[in-house]
Amino acid sequence: MSAKFHYINHACFVVAKNDSAIIFDPYLDGNPEGLTADDIKVDYIFISHAHFDHLGSAFEIAKKCDATIISTAEIAGMAGEAGCKAHGMHLGGTYMFPFGKVRVTLAFHGSGIAGGHACGFVVDFYGTKLYFAGDTALFSDMQLLPKLDPFDYAVLPIGGNFTMDPKDAAIAADFLKAPTVIPIHYNTWPPIAQDVNAFKADVEANTASKVLIVKPGEVVDLA
């Protein structure tokens, strides 16, 4: 059974498989489908950091769905104080959930919470393996990630200004060696406006990866 990848907007997307679903960085404002927290039905919520455009509606969704938040210890603590179920992890940590293994990865970015760190995730969701980079700068240790936990999809920010731009993200794609790269975190606001088709051409000309462009509001099949 294939997984469904639903790109909601900005850095928010849902992966659904085996009658279960997970959401990443559930910032819903401005999404083209007009989705609200009431429309989201998930079992787990991944939060890369606590900036408003990533934490988003996480606590509201968690309470409504009785979903578990997976994030750094600081954000998990904040979630628990808000009355949500949470599983705290940290950089380099791994854990086996009912759906599969999660690794918390480095991300070079602000945490949005005192004492915290931004992060990314490598997630094996019922055999669909993806790396969500979160908001990050390019860093050379990305080359280690596929050696630790191989994945088929790399979900990368390309907007620049706050994160990697397309040029840096193309180098990241070369480091990561994922068969498929999915660009996110671009064109939400003018400072992160980018030409995603130029990014696709660059990656496919200079790496072994293919770029899957998913527009906000679209749903595509993953392996």
pLDDT computed for residue 1 by the predictor: 78
Domains and CATH numbers, the chain: 3-215 (3.60.15.10)
Query: What's the distance, CA 74 to chain centroid?
Result: 18
Q: What pLDDT digit, counting tens, does each position of 36-93 carry?
A: 999 999 999 999 999 999 999 999 999 999 999 999 999 999 999 999 999 999 999 9
pLDDT computed for residue 22 by the predictor: 99
DSSP class of residue 167 equals: H
- Read off the tokens for 147: 């050696």
d(CA 209, CA 142) in angstroms, rounded, equals: 15
d(CA 201, CA 185) in angstroms, rounded, equals: 18
pLDDT computed for residue 223 by the predictor: 78
Low-confidence ranges of the chain (pLDDT < 70): none
- What are 125's strand-pairing partners? 128
Global pTM reads: 0.98
